[in-house]
Amino acid sequence: MRESRYEHFPHDADVGVRGIGASPAEAFEEAALALTAVITDPVRVDAAERVEIRCEAPDIELLLADFLNAVIYEMATRGMLFGRYEVKIEGASLEAAAFGERVDVEKHRPIVEAKGATLTSLRVEQRADGTWLAQCVVDV
């Protein structure tokens, strides 16, 4: 199994997004892919445009929520989807690039909008095997 990956976990009304990676930054990238995967399969999204995202937060968990909410904001206001992310984290500030294209209903068959990343089940932590986990529930 690849070291970095994303997955979804169940919530009563909504859906949990989880990224796992060798570093917090990789785990954040994977969590953002999990967010894309709530809406469409990330491999369907071409990296035609690059969008810059910057966030700062009091701690790394709120940084994850802020980052995912910034992604949701860029998707909503630009009418875009992102299929790839590059994240750099220093302390509690983050610089990221999201690569994607405009929503095409025929091509992407989007399932549902993401309303916001929540603080429910919000966790960023190093696991026993040394890899990092970044997760929260997304309201859809």
Partner 1 sequence: MDLSLLERESESVWRVEPTGDMRVPGILYADESLVREMDEKVLEQLRNVASLPGIVRAAYAMPDAHWGYGFPIGGVAAFDPDEGGVVSAGGVGFDISCGVRSLHTGLTLDDVRPKQKALADQLFRDIPAGVGSAGRIRLDGDAMDAMLRGGAHWAVEQGYGTREDLERIEERGCMRGAEPEYVSERAKARQRDEMGTLGSGNHYLEIQHVAEIFDREAAEAFGLEEGDILATIHCGSRGLGHQIGTEFLRDMAAAAAKHGIHLPDRELACAPIRSELGQIYLGAMRAGINCALANRQIITHLTRRAFERVLPKAVLTVLYDVSHNTCKVERHAVNGEEKEVFVHRKGATRAFGPGHPDLPPELRDVGQPVLIGGSMGTESYVLRGTRESEALSFSSSCHGAGRAMSRHQAKRTWSGREVVDELARRGIIVRSPSMRGVAEEAPLAYKDVRAVVDAAERAGLSRKVARVEPIVCIKG
Widest distance between CA atoms in the chain: 43
- H-run or E-run covering 107: helix 105-108
Nearer to partner 1, 27 or 40 (CB): 40
Closest approach, Cβ 22 to partner 1, in A, equals 26
Give me the residues that bind partner 1 (CB under 8 A), please: 8-15, 39, 58, 62, 65-66, 69, 72-73, 76-77, 79, 102-103, 105, 109-113, 115-120, 122, 137, 139-140
Nearer to partner 1, 9 or 22 (CB): 9
Distance CA 38, CA 23 (A): 23
Closest approach, Cβ 33 to partner 1, in A, equals 16
Nearer to partner 1, 5 or 11 (CB): 11
Distance of CA 5 to the CA centre of its chain: 12
Closest approach, Cβ 109 to partner 1, in A, equals 6
Closest approach, Cβ 97 to partner 1, in A, equals 20
Place of tokens 């970044």: 134
Nearest to 48, CA basis, from 104, 95, 114, 110: 104
- 40-42-43 Cα angle (round to 5): 120
Nearer to partner 1, 62 or 133 (CB): 62
